[in-house]
Amino acid sequence: EAGVVQSPRYKIIEKKQPVAFWCNPISGHNTLYWYLQNLGQGPELLIRYENEEAVDDSQLPKDRFSAERLKGVDSTLKIQPAELGDSAVYLCASSKTSGRWNEQFFGPGTRLTVL
């Protein structure tokens, strides 16, 4: 079974430029999560999808961040414009369903560097 796929693995951009990250969850997984991981910290949830619906985006900085999950499968996270403080690893995870007991499967992440 293929794992969670993310691309690109690395991205270097200049501040004020836009950037987008893509995630393909495990087949059959209805719940998709985007996490932000700063250096030396644990991941923090940005947004959670149940199929196509964003059911928890309370931690997403909506002035510059946006996300979508068309057709309830792949998802894209976008930052426009990027700031220096956005340099971090962006992790995508998926689980079969939502629920506090569910094991989440993580992708390798996209490491963003904003210059």
Residue ranges that bind other proteins, judged by CB under 8 A:
3, 31, 40-45, 48, 50, 55-56, 89, 91, 93, 95, 98-109, 111
Shortest gap between Cβ of 70 and other proteins (angstroms)? Answer: 20
Residue 7 or 81 with smaller CB distance to other proteins: 7
Cα–Cα distance measured from residue 115 to residue 110, given in angstroms and rounded to the nearest whole number: 16
Residue 44 or 83 with smaller CB distance to other proteins: 44
Q: What is the DSSP string of 23-44?
A: EE--TT--EEEEEEE-TTS--E
Residue 52 or 56 with smaller CB distance to other proteins: 56
Shortest gap between Cβ of 22 and other proteins (angstroms)? Answer: 16
| 44-50/105-106 β-pairing | unpaired
Shortest gap between Cβ of 102 and other proteins (angstroms)? Answer: 5
- Tokens 């947004």 belong to 47
Cα–Cα distance measured from residue 14 to residue 52, given in angstroms and rounded to the nearest whole number: 31
